[in-house]
Amino acid sequence: MLQGYGLIYFGNDWYAENRTSSHHVAERLADAAPLLYVDSPGMRAPQASGRDLRRAWRKLRAALRAPVAVRPNLWHCTVPQLPFRRVPGVDWLNRAFGRWAVRRAMRVLGDVTPISWFAVPHPGFLAQQLGERLCVYYCIDDYAAHPGVDSELIAARDLELTRRADLVFVAPPALLEAKRAINPVTRFSPHGVDTALFGQARDPATPVPAAAQDLAHPVVGYFGSIHEWIDLELIEWLARERPQWSFLLVGHAAADVSRLRALDNVRLVGAQPYRELPRWAKAFDVAIIPYRHNRQVANANPLKVREYLATGKPVVSVSQPEIDKFARWVEIAPDREGFLHALDRALQNDSPAAADARVAAVAGQTWDNRVDEVLREVSSALARKQA
């Protein structure tokens, strides 16, 4: 479908603990055309934490190396940027260095016609600067609403990239009309799910990790980042209300979880490899999505709801526009007490037939299908440019 083309793909940190749509889409696009995955600098200034310092050092070392082959047809490189963007001269330096470094790395793609693809907005100053035939902006989040980012700068970069792109895809439905008003060539592209991977949670041969084997049931489970957008107070309250239950939280904790650690029935196991998440999910009796109600959550398209449903496990969530579309298969909780009652109902009403229905609800929403839909739009856009 993209014969003769090569992709320069600007995405989230390739080595991040969480695998986002940025990773899922890139891996599948690499089946259609050679792809250079460019780690883009973070949207927030680095902190003086050991984790951030290690990440900054890793990126600096990676920037001095040639692109590395991750798998056939997919290479990875890093183009770090100075974080102090408001200091005079820094923005110019970042633009000049970024253009030079990406053009140098593009050589691994060979003799192809480039297509630039942005899954994040902050390197968008490179749009239409790389000799590309087509520029795609695959908007997967309300980036300016993320905690700790320079919201004014990120909003400006997002707006600029939306205007300059030849084709815009929007995953969060709440952002679709606003993007379409800026760029009429905007398409809705909801997230997908790796149904085969998460379906392993139903396989009798899939082992539960040792750290979850001794938990008292029922087990209320969560996997994903434990960040500012997670309602830790809600989880603590639930755990105190049901001390006989176990609460298993799987993911990197970027927020203060000391109050949760102090509870005997809460177990935090830290970040785990993406492909091992079905093993942890197998230990769940019910999965939860305990988001806070804020702008970032309201404008999100959570991967988690589809991944949970693909495991067949009952799901309880707060209300959120995209999650509400799955209300037939997900218990939607209006408040704290409602969340607890929804957990009770989910545990009482679970059955093999209900699990089958949850899996069927997302069976056609695979990443392969999503990327095929996107590629058809890209092919049409290329045809329009050539006409």
pLDDT confidence bin for 51, thresholds 50/70/90? low
Q: Do domains 5-192+366-386 and 195-361 have the same CATH topology?
A: yes
What average pLDDT score do residues 179-192 get?
96
Give per-residue burial for 149-186: e unless 16+ CB within 10 Å, then b: bbbebbbebbbebbebbbbbbbbbebbbeebbeebeeb
Q: Provide the residue type at 160 as one letter.
A: E
Decide: 116 and 98 in contact? Cβ < 8 Å: no
In this structure, are residues 323 and 317 in contact, taking their beta carbons and an 8 Å threshold? Answer: yes
| CA angle (44 as vertex; 41, 47 as ends), nearest 5 | 105
Average pLDDT, the chain: 90
What are the tokens at 369?
Answer: 């299908």
What percent of the chain clears pLDDT 90, i.e. is strictly above it? 72
Q: Which residue has better confidence, 276 or 44?
A: 276
pLDDT tens digits for 319-337?
999 999 999 999 999 999 9
Residue range 202-221: mean pLDDT, rounded? 97
Specify the CATH number of the domain 5-192+366-386. 3.40.50.2000
Rounded to whole angstroms, how far apart are CA atoms 121 and 22? Answer: 12
* Selected residue with higher pLDDT from 56 and 232: 232
pTM: 0.89
**pLDDT surpassing 70 at residue 58:** no
Low-confidence winner among 45-54, 187-196, 234-243, 302-311 (lowest mean pLDDT): 45-54
Over residues 237-290, the pLDDT tens digits come to 999 999 999 999 999 999 999 999 999 999 999 999 999 999 999 999 999 999
| pLDDT for residue 86 | 61
Cβ neighbours for 185, distance < 8 A, ≥ 6 positions apart:
165, 166, 167, 168, 381
pLDDT, average across residues 19-37: 94
SS (H, E, C) the chain: CCCCEEEEEEECCCCCCCCCHHHHHHHHHCCCCCEEEEECCCCECCCCCHHHHHHHHHHHHHHCCCCEEEECCEEEEECCCCCCCCCCCHHHHHHHHHHHHHHHHHHHHCCCEEEEEECCCCCHHHCCCCCCCEEEEEECCCHHHCCCECHHHHHHHHHHHHHHCCEEEECCHHHHHHHHHHCCCEEECCCCECHHHHHHHHCCCCCCCHHHCCCCCCEEEEECCECCCECHHHHHHHHHHCCCCEEEEECCECCCCHHHHCCCCEEECCCCCHHHHHHHHHCCCEEEECECCCHHHHCCCCHHHHHHHHHCCCEEEECCHHHHCCCCCCEEECCHHHHHHHHHHHHHHCCHHHHHHHHHHCCCCEHHHHHHHHHHHHHHHHHHHHC
Span 2-30, average pLDDT: 91
Structural class in CATH, domain 195-361:
alpha beta
Residues 62-73: pLDDT tens digits? Answer: 556 789 999 999
pLDDT confidence tier of residue 48, bands split at 50, 70 and 90? very low
Alpha-carbon distance 171 to 301, whole Å? 6
pLDDT one-digit tens code per residue, 134-151: 999 999 988 888 877 778
Calpha distance 127→95 (Å, rounded): 11
Residues 341-355 pLDDT 10s? 999 999 999 999 999
For the chain, the structural domain boundaries read 5-192+366-386, 195-361
